[in-house]
């Protein structure tokens, strides 16, 4: 089938067309209004989605060389995400499904991040273990099939992307700070400033303590030297990045070993981090894992991943009623929550 997919869960307005599992287009418009606020402002996100959605969808169809009347289904991100932002995509998709008289597909954004692995080759074999690291989530997921996934561990407080963004903000960097930490960390000493790592049981994570430790450390150093951050930016970025990656790797290694899985993937915005990508590839060589790392454009929010998820749901006839509504706290499909 030919499916149009729309993503609008946060601050990217995106549309993609997939044909029988092959992505034909993927248009992403990143909202810039949030930069000066140091984080996503929900009301501004909704308004920007409203403004962007029609041109983004038109461009995705044009780029794919597909007419509206060629479509067999329309998909949208049902959740999790910001309610107002999700509503824009959901309403638009409903309108299209209704007027074209084709099925509507509701996609879980976090499962879609994982299914980004199925856009390009090589594709992981099942079961595979995915470390999903994004702005709002940090999860270890056992993926048994495209539609059967089990969360085996997750953060008990902040997401790792949030830890990147908040520590960046403390250093005075723009939002989102993750990519800037990645950039400034190049050439920095990752072992210069060791930050504590609290022990969390099982396959769960905690990141809120690091942020506080970092803030306290900088306050103290700043009293001695008010240019401390500026003078040590590379080492600070490298050290905080190293600490965050160490926490992620510890649990990934533990889960891979105990669950006896050697097919390993990373997904979500933070999987664009160059040091995380290198670390996991190197660890994979030592452990004999097959490591899968999505293309950069499929790590951060995009509709191609929503389209990929929709492709599998279309084959399983998992459709939504036209009176459906988005769910900001949506759990994985197939789990009864």
Give residues in contact with Mg ion (CB under 5 A): 10-11
Q: How far apart are the C-alpha atoms of 92 and 112, rounded to whole Å?
A: 19
- Using the 8-state DSSP alphabet, how is residue 174 labeled? P
Cβ-in-10-Å burial (0-12, 13-18, 19+) of 271 comes to: buried
The answer to the question of residue 12 lying near Fe ion (CB under 5 A) is no
The answer to the question of residue 190 lying near ligand ATP (CB under 6 A) is no
197 assigned ligand-binding residue: no
The answer to the question of residue 179 lying near ligand ATP (CB under 6 A) is yes
Task: Name the residue among 155, 177, 276, 149 with its Cα closest to residue 236.
Answer: 177
Using the rule CB under 6 A, give the single segment among 114-122, 170-178, 199-207, 315-323 that binds ligand ATP: 170-178
The answer to the question of residue 176 lying near ligand ATP (CB under 6 A) is yes
The answer to the question of residue 155 lying near ligand ATP (CB under 6 A) is no
239's contact among ligand ATP, Mg ion, Fe ion, none, with CB below 5 to 8 A by partner kind, is: none
- Using the 8-state DSSP alphabet, how is residue 123 labeled? P
| Site map (CB under 6 A) of ligand ATP, residues 96-135, x = contact | -------------x---x--------------------xx
The answer to the question of residue 29 lying near ligand ATP (CB under 6 A) is no
Residue 244 CB, nearest distance to Fe ion (Å)?
17
**Which residue(s) pair with 263 in the sheet?**
290
For residue 70, what are the contacts with CB-CB under 8 A and spacing of at least 6? Answer: 2
Task: Name the residue among 139, 149, 125 with its Cα closest to residue 264.
Answer: 125
244-303 residues near ligand ATP, rule: CB under 6 A? 268-270, 272-273, 300-301
Cis amide bond preceding 176, omega within 30? yes
157 assigned ligand-binding residue: no
Query: Which contacts (CB < 8 Å, 24+ apart) does range 37-41 have?
Result: 37/175, 38/169, 38/174, 38/175, 39/165, 39/169, 39/175, 40/10, 40/11, 40/82, 40/175
The answer to the question of residue 134 lying near Fe ion (CB under 5 A) is yes
195-234 residues near ligand ATP, rule: CB under 6 A? none
Give the interface with ligand ATP as residue ranges (CB under 6 A).
9-10, 80-81, 109, 113, 134-137, 161, 164-165, 176-179, 182, 268-270, 272-273, 300-301
């Amino acid at each position: 089938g030919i499916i149009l997919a729309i993503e609008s869960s946060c601050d990217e307005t995106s549309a993609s067309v997939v044909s029988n599992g092959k992505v034909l287009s993927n248009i992403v418009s990143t909202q810039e209004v949030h930069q000066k606020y140091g984080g996503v402002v929900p009301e501004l996100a909704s308004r920007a989605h409203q403004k962007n959605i029609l041109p983004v969808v038109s461009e995705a169809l044009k780029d794919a060389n597909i007419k509206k009347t060629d479509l067999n289904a329309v998909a949208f991100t049902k959740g999790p995400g910001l309610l107002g932002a999700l509503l824009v995509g959901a309403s638009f998709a409903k309108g299209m499904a209704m007027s074209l008289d084709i099925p509507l597909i509701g996609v879980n954004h976090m499962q879609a991040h994982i299914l980004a692995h199925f856009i390009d080759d090589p594709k992981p074999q099942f079961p595979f273990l995915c470390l999903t690291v994004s702005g709002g989530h940090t999860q270890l997921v056992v993926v048994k099939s495209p539609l059967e996934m089990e969360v085996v561990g997750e953060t008990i407080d902040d997401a790792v992307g949030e830890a990147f963004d908040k520590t960046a903000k403390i250093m005075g960097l723009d939002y989102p700070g993750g990519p800037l930490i990645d950039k400034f960390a190049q050439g920095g000493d990752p072992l210069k400033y060791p930050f504590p790592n609290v022990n969390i049981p099982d396959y769960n994570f905690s990141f809120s303590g690091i942020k506080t430790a970092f803030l306290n450390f900088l306050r103290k150093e700043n009293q001695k030297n008010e240019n401390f951050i500026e003078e040590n930016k590379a080492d600070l970025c490298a050290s905080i990045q190293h600490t965050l990656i160490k926490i992620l790797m510890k649990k990934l290694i533990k889960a891979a070993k105990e669950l006896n899985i050697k097919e390993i993937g990373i997904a979500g915005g933070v999987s664009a981090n160059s040091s995380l990508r290198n670390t996991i590839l190197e660890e994979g060589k030592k452990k004999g894992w097959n490591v899968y790392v999505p293309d950069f454009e499929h790590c951060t929010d995009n509709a191609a991943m929503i389209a990929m998820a929709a492709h599998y749901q279309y084959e399983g006839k998992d459709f939504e009623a036209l009176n459906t509504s988005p769910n900001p706290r949506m759990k994985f499909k197939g789990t009864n929550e």
